[in-house]
Amino acid sequence: MQEYEVKRGLAKQTDLKALLAEQFGAAKESNGWFETSFGAMPVIKAKYENQKLVVDTQNDATLAPRILKGDAEASKVAMDTQKRWNVFLEAATGYDAKTRGKKAQEAAKKAGKT
């Protein structure tokens, strides 16, 4: 499970289910989580909690060996999934990949000092 900082006010005005559906196909709600799946991620769960985006994902373990063997289709699936994941995270957090990385480093430093 991973948490991402969210721009102030964005969580209140964002339809997380619609964002998931836009990038990965139909999403359903279950126990407070929005769930879907796509390509290299057979499980994608997301919710806003305490002003953060919380996600829980599982990766398709069969893709890496196929990619190592030169399977072009597996590479295409992995790259498309990663591209869609980044677009989703940017829309859901309001931060691009570089800024999300900086925020994660700041949080780790802060946690290390306590």
Amino acid at 14: T
Predicted confidence at residue 16, as pLDDT, reads 95
Would you call 52 helix, strand, or coil by DSSP?
Answer: strand
Query: For 74-98, what is each residue's pLDDT tens digit?
Result: 999 999 999 999 999 999 999 999 9
What's the pLDDT at 32? 93
* Residue that is written with structure tokens 């063997």 in the block: 69
What pLDDT shows up at residue 114?
Answer: 64
Which tokens in the block code for residue 108?
């780790």
Region 106-112 average pLDDT? 84
Other CB atoms closer than 10 Å to residue 97's CB: what's the count? 10
- Per the prediction, the chain carries an average pLDDT of 93
Q: Where are the domains of the chain?
A: 2-101
Domain 2-101 in CATH 3.30.310.190: yes
Number of CB atoms found within 10 A of residue 4's CB: 18
